[in-house]
Structures are given as structure tokens and as C-alpha cells.
Structure 1
């Protein structure tokens, strides 16, 4: 299908957003301070930017609720991929559509950001198809989403799969549970959103999903009894969405960053469930290992468990199995 047909589709879907609200793709030119940002309906221009390397992977990161380009998750993840130097690095900036409105966190999430995430995911699918028609190699494209952003990239993958286009790799970072755990698979991230879907669950007791959403689901520092509390965090009451309140939810992208910076250190071992993993012998724990943040063609699908340190570097290697 030609790029012109997809462009018409972009105009139709884009009409759902006001001009100031439209999501954008920010393409970085070597540092977080240097970038070109294009609205979705002009995104196909990305492939002709002089610093865009079409022979490399393209990594697109999507922030979550209340996220923005200068937020801690965005700056840290983008910087990690820039430092890695193996891909074109792109931010899906939907900050206006993900915002907390009038300091009403719960209603902003349920009535504004979550519905917008579904629309942005559908819109992103058409953007990617338009980019593909313009020359982007989708087989070298990796989508990474945090919290609500994980469902945005998942929905995009689902919409593309329905058109018989399969993305190779989606990474979900503690995908949001509220308002999405009850949805049908095609309305959220699911194991078939891409050929390979890996998910890091760091806050399944609160903001993150408890569901298996990937072909591979990593469960760092998991426990069956009581809340899952990541090392370096605690279970004290904090103001809603304060750093302490989000500590567990944010560990997912911190673990991903360390997997990029220190390859081979953040690893998990396969087990049917947590109880089985706890009863594994050391040889059993070393039998089927996958590395967080790495793409696999051959793997045992299912749950992977690991322990981490309280402070970076978080990965413990085999000592965390």
C-alpha cells in the first residue's frame, strides 16, 4: 500500500487530537539536547533526516502517565540507548495527552490519559506503516514502553498484526495494570503484540500489571506473600505519585538501563512459577537463562525470576538467580 494512503489514515486519526495535543516523534542527534521533533502526520520525514542511519536499529521509547521529555524515565532511558550507540533513538512524546489535569491524579489517569493512550496506540500503528512506506525497516525496529506507554506500543503492534505486519520486538516496562488488566488482549500489550515481547514487572502489587503480558515475563525480586518491594524501595505510605510512591514502578526502567550498560549482569532464570523457582537447585537455576534487555529468537517462553541489588549496578549475574 502506498504512503499516500497511509497519510490519509493519519489525517483521519489525527483529527481526534487538538493541534497542541498531538503526539510527536522526537529523533535524537547524538545527545538528549539535540533532536528533531515531528508531529505524527509528518513523521515520515524522519527517514530523510541527515543523521538518521537507516542501516541501524531504530529504538522508539514511549513514556507513561505524567511523563514528559525532561522527566527522569525519558532522559535516563534515552541517554542509555544513545550511549549504547547501536540504534537511532526516538521518543514518542505524548506529554499533553498523558498529563495530570488540575492535580486530579485518579480522574486524569482514568478519564484522560488511559483513553488517550488507546488512541495514540492506534495512531502509532498508522505512523509506523507510513514510515515503513517511506523507507523505515520495521524488521530493525524496537518499541519500548513504560507503564501506559507499554500498552501504547502493544496496541500499535496489535493493529499492525491485524494488517499482517508483525513488529519484531516490543519491550514492556511494568505495564500499567489499572484500566488495562481487564481489557481484551487486542486492547493492551499481549504476548502476540510482536514476534518477541519481553516484559519487566517491578510493581505488580500496585501500579503494574499482575498478568503475563509477554512471551517472556521477568519478575525481579518477586514474592508470593505480601507486596513486591524492590531493594532500595520500601512499603511506607507516600503522597500519590511522589518519588517514594513510584519507587517500585520506576525500577523497571532502571533495570533495563543497567542491562544496557552492563551486559550479562541482569539475568533471570525460567521457572513455571515462583514457588518452583524458589525450590530450584543451583544447576536448575542455570539451566534456562535469559538476559534482560536482549532480543532472542530461540528461548523458553514463560516466567523468569531474578534478584537485584538495592543500588546500581543492580544486576547480580548468577548470584541473582
Structure 2
């Protein structure tokens, strides 16, 4: 954890013209990340892969249908689960719960548009506690998810419509699941990383990081590069809104390290993803770097979409500007 604190401290002094006035905000949630990093698993949960829960969300229910990962085949008996429909598998990040805003926001976006089997990997039983310990256990956790998904694929789930999405550590988790599936003959069509976790993964000191070889198309949204999120291109198409680093527009310039406010830029990735599910104003252009983009030297590059509408032919680094509050998409103003 000492390495992480050093990295985060830099965020207190970095500034940009788009961020809010310097202040040290606090709320009842401010120290949640710190507390959970020192806490055992949520009550009633055990830190073993067999206690991972797959939660199926649908418009037909006010709460998800939940299954222990070993019983995932029971999903096939649910009337609202259609093996021919596209399936999204979402994995939350370190010390997060499915009741947190991050998961609730993503779930809400998908339920609004409909047409998906939406599965959330609830691995909060393993995600709590020491960061290094959790990271070391992540490959086995991802493999357990891969085993579960292979059971569904063997029983008719459409591989063509499978999309793995993960935030922070969850991005690496779904990459391990994809690698397990690939070793068994199932190549995942698309995998998305939302600000993949940086410390311990780049370079892969604690555990391997996600890579373009994990799926047919791998896209990544970077919003806190060099702090909690990786500063490295790690997909076929890497998107760098506002340069992809802290502080993102709307995030306060001065924060107490490791507080909820300090994660503002890191959390922006799932907010942008959720907005992309329901809207189409997050446009980007390929460019050499953000400074070149800001100078307008990439105006001849075609417009592309950040988020769910990104197409599998995209390759390279893409840039855009966003607003400081929802809706974040600026349309053409964000790329001109």
C-alpha cells in the first residue's frame, strides 16, 4: 500500500483549467475506500472463489436473480435469460460492492436500453482487504469466472454476443476470464477496460495486465492514467478523454489521498461508459497525442465513438474533450 499512497499524493498538486476551485471536500463516503481496504469481506461472505456471486439483472425484476458461481447453469432456467441475446458481463473494481453507485449506474444504463443479458460479477468477497493480496488472487478469481462462462457457452449461450467489461481491477479480472475461455476454444469477441488498475500491473509485478490479445477487439477508456489507472495503451483502441489523466473536468483539484474524492477521475471511466450506452455524443478522433489533438492537427481523422458504439476495426489512440458534469458528451464540440 505504500507505493499506492506515493502515487496518489501527486494528485493533490496536479491542476488543470477545467477543474473546480481548490478545496478539501469531505462526505460520509470520503473514507470508504480506505476503510474497505482494511476490512474483511462483507458480512456473510467468504474470501473464496466459490462464493463469487453472478447477479442477473433484467427489466422484469426489481432486484437481480443471484447465483453462486458454481450454480451459474441455473441462469438458463430463468425466463428473462435468453441465450440468443447479447450478453454483457460486468466486473466491478477493488473494494467495491454491487450496491455502490459504480455498479448501479452501469446497470441502470443497460436496463434503460434493454436487449441484453446483463450479468454482474459480484466478487466483493475477494475484493476487500490488502490491495496486494487482492491483486495476487485476481488471476484465480478471473479463471473462476471463465469456468462459469464456459458452462453457459457449452449450453448454448451465444459467443458472438459476449462482451466482457471491467472497471479498474475488474478490467484485469475479465481479461483472465477471457484467457481461460480462449484456451478452451472460445475467443471473446469484445472486451472493454474502464481505467484498468495501474499499481502492481504495469509493469506486471503483482499480476499480469490485460492486453489486446485477450479478445478479438479490446477497447479501453483511460481517465486517471498514471495514478489509479494505467498510463499505457493496453488495447486495440485506447480512448483518452481530456488527455486521460487526473484531474478530469469537474473533479476537485485538491483531495486527501485515497478518499472517495481522490478517486473522482478514476470513477469517471464508468460514468462515460454508462453515458455511451444511452447516448451518442461521445465522439473522438485518432491522434498522436493530446497536445497534437488540442492544436487541431488531427481534424482530418474520421469521427469515431467512445464507448459501446466503438467499432472493432478501430486501432490506435483516440482523444476528445468532455464536459465537467453530465451529460459529459460534447458531440462535435468535443473534437474540434
Q: What TM-score bracket applies, with the shorter chain setting the length?
A: 0.7 to 0.9
State the shift of 1:160 in Å. Answer: 2.1
2:92 maps to which residue? 63
2:3 maps to which residue? none
Aligned positions, number = 289
Q: 1:214 aligns with which of 211, 230, 235?
A: 235
SS in 1 for 2:240: strand
Change (3 A) 1:238 1:157: same
Matches within 5 A, 1:112-261: 113-183=134-204, 187-222=208-243, 228-240=246-258, 242-261=259-278
Equivalent-residue separation in structure 1 for 2:272 and 2:318 (angstroms): 14
Instruction: Point out where structure 2 has 5 or more consecutive residues left out of the alignment.
Output: 1-45
Change (3 A) 1:230 1:153: same
Equivalent-residue separation in structure 2 for 1:76 and 1:135 (angstroms): 29
**Conservation of the 8 A alpha-carbon contact between 1:270 and 1:302:** yes
Higher mean alpha-carbon deviation, 202-211 vs 24-33, is at: 24-33
Equivalent-residue separation in structure 1 for 2:247 and 2:47 (angstroms): 40
1:14 maps to which residue? none
Superposed CA RMSD in Å reads 2.1
**Conservation of the 8 A alpha-carbon contact between 2:85 and 2:158:** no
Equivalent-residue separation in structure 2 for 1:273 and 1:82 (angstroms): 35
Equivalent-residue separation in structure 1 for 2:75 and 2:257 (angstroms): 40
**Conservation of the 8 A alpha-carbon contact between 1:21 and 1:96:** no
Q: 1:296 aligns with which of 311, 320, 326?
A: 311
2:33 maps to which residue? none
**Conservation of the 8 A alpha-carbon contact between 1:259 and 1:293:** yes
1:109 maps to which residue? 131
**Conservation of the 8 A alpha-carbon contact between 1:32 and 1:78:** no
1:11 maps to which residue? none
**Conservation of the 8 A alpha-carbon contact between 1:196 and 1:295:** no
1:276 maps to which residue? 292
Equivalent-residue separation in structure 2 for 1:187 and 1:160 (angstroms): 17
Equivalent-residue separation in structure 2 for 1:281 and 1:18 (angstroms): 51
Q: What's the TM-score, normalizing by structure 1?
A: 0.84
Q: Does 1:314 align with 2:328?
A: yes
SS in 1 for 2:160: helix
Higher relative contact order (CA 8 A, sep 6+): 2
Q: What's the TM-score, normalizing by structure 2?
A: 0.80
Instruction: Point out where structure 1 has 5 or more consecutive residues left out of the alignment.
Output: 1-16, 102-107
Q: Does 1:287 align with 2:302?
A: yes
Change (3 A) 1:199 1:20: closer
SS in 2 for 1:171: strand
Change (3 A) 1:160 1:311: same
